[in-house]
């Protein structure tokens, strides 16, 4: 591990200065973690220097051919690539889930129909992650793993989870009038359902895994 970054143990690669700032703040005081400005297809890390490469709810924003080639380059033989995503919405009250689906049904239509939104990004469907990983030819073993985590939640947290979704954020910035009425309706529904109480949600995840051959 000659690269100075890998003395840290964990290296976060993120091109956005705002995202790095947030990550650094959250990791403050945690030993053996550092962050660098780079992209998934050009990390700047040493070849065969990583035991594990992960993408947390982000692989769908990465051009897959270049990203997987870079993953292969930096992984050690026998190393693991794992990309994981949440299934939205979290499992909780069926009424809250229906309200979520109604709001994001509109978001998906607006992403398709508004040129300023549609032309501002490229996204690769999550349902194709495993096939792209398998078809790359870099891995001797691939599969999808499904799991969940039960966590405490409040109305505020549930709203923040919804508000964090990239499609909703983009539309609220570029065409707020197209979604604000539905967003306000969603907020009122969530607050009327949960009030100030704490409740349980189940966050469901899909992880797609690839293992690099030992002799590669």
| Separation between Cα atoms, residue 27 and residue 110, nearest integer Å | 35
- The helix/strand/coil state of 34 is strand
Tens of pLDDT along 131-151?
999 999 999 999 999 999 999
**Is there a domain that residue 85 lies in?**
yes
Confidence of residue 8 (pLDDT cuts 50, 70, 90): low
Residue 109's pLDDT is 93
Peptide linkage before 70 cis (omega within 30 of 0): no
β-strand partners of 151: 201
How many beta carbons lie within 10 A of that of residue 51, not counting itself? 10
User: Which residue has 């962050």 as its token pair?
Assistant: 35
Total domain count, the chain: 1
Higher per-residue pLDDT: 216 or 84: 84
DSSP single-letter state for residue 4: G
| Separation between Cα atoms, residue 92 and residue 16, nearest integer Å | 32
**Is there a domain that residue 143 lies in?**
yes
Q: What is the mean pLDDT of residues 59-82?
A: 97
**Is there a domain that residue 100 lies in?**
yes
Q: What is the mean pLDDT of residues 194-209?
A: 97
**Is there a domain that residue 200 lies in?**
yes
Q: What is the pTM of this model?
A: 0.86
Confidence of residue 115 (pLDDT cuts 50, 70, 90): confident
CATH of residue 65's domain is 3.40.50.150
Does the pLDDT value for residue 6 go beyond 90? no
Range of lowest pLDDT (7-11, 77-81, 151-155, 202-206)? 7-11
In sequence order, the 6+-apart residues with CB closer than 8 A to the CB of 51 are 75, 76, 79, 80
Does the pLDDT value for residue 78 go beyond 80? yes
Chain-centroid distance of CA 87 in Å reads: 11
Nearest of 80, 84, 99, 83 to residue 159 by alpha carbon: 99
Residue 4's pLDDT is 40
Show the domain range for 122: 39-211
Strands (E) across the chain are located at 10-13, 33-36, 50-56, 75-91, 141-153, 199-211
Residue 99's pLDDT is 97
Helix (H) or strand (E) holding 29: none
**Is there a domain that residue 24 lies in?**
no
């Amino acid at each position: 591990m000659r690269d100075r970054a890998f003395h840290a143990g964990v290296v976060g690669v993120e091109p956005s200065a705002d995202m790095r700032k947030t990550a650094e703040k959250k990791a403050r005081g945690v030993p053996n973690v550092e962050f660098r400005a780079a992209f998934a297809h050009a990390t700047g890390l040493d070849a065969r220097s990583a035991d594990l490469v992960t993408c947390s709810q982000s692989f769908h924003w990465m051009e897959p051919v270049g990203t997987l080639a870079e993953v292969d380059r930096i992984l050690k033989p026998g190393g693991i690539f794992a990309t994981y995503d949440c299934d939205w919405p979290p499992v909780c009250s069926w009424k809250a889930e229906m309200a979520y689906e109604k709001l994001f049904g509109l978001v998906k239509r607006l992403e398709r129909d508004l040129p300023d939104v549609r032309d501002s990004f490229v996204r690769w469907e999550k349902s194709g992650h495993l096939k792209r990983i398998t078809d790359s030819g870099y891995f001797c073993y691939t599969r999808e793993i499904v799991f969940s985590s039960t966590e405490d939640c409040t109305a505020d947290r549930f709203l923040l989870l919804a508000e964090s979704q990239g499609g909703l954020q983009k539309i609220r910035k570029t065409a707020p009038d197209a979604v604000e009425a539905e967003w306000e309706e969603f907020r009122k529904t969530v607050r009327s359902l949960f009030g100030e109480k704490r409740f349980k949600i189940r966050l469901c995840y899909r992880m797609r895994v690839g293992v690099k051959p030992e002799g590669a």
